[in-house]
Amino acid sequence: MVKIRRVYDPPFESEGKRYLVDGLWPRGIKKESLGLEAWLKNIAPTPTLRKWFSHDPEKWEEYKRRFRLELRDPEKERVLEELAQQARTGDITLLFATRDREHNNGVVIKEIIEEKDQS
């Protein structure tokens, strides 16, 4: 199972392996406090895309399209496949920093991982 959570939320015991999927380290958070399996900054949106989106819900569909194109890079595909494999064997949690829980890169990454499981 793939879960997504805000990095600032307290962790649950049942979150499984935790992965930070943001390109920037979240403000005010100590690395040791997150209990991360890994920081996957290489699958985060590019700074150009992140700045263009600026968490504007009006741009959400176009952001998702552009971000999915970025994630077609072979190295990023490999990381996504590894996450999908982890999700097949246990719970994983994708962590993001933004306040918007519905419009963020974690949502898109979760969708892609779940699509890999269905194909």
CA–CA gap between residue 36 and residue 52 (Å, rounded): 28
- For the stretch 59-118, pLDDT in tens is 999 999 999 999 999 999 999 999 999 999 999 999 999 999 999 999 999 999 999 877
Report pTM: 0.93
Range of the domain at 59: 2-13+21-118
What is the C-alpha to C-alpha distance for residues 1 and 86, in angstroms, rounded to an integer? 9
96 contacts 21 by C-beta, under 8 angstroms: yes
108, 32 in Cβ contact below 8 A?
no
Three-state DSSP at 115 gives: helix
Q: Where are the alpha helices (DSSP H) in 8-73?
A: 31-34, 47-53, 60-70
Distance, CA of 37 to CA of 89 (rounded, Å): 15
Q: How many domains does the chain divide into?
A: 1
Using the predicted structure, report yes or no on whether residue 14 has a pLDDT greater than 90: no
| pLDDT on residue 15 | 86
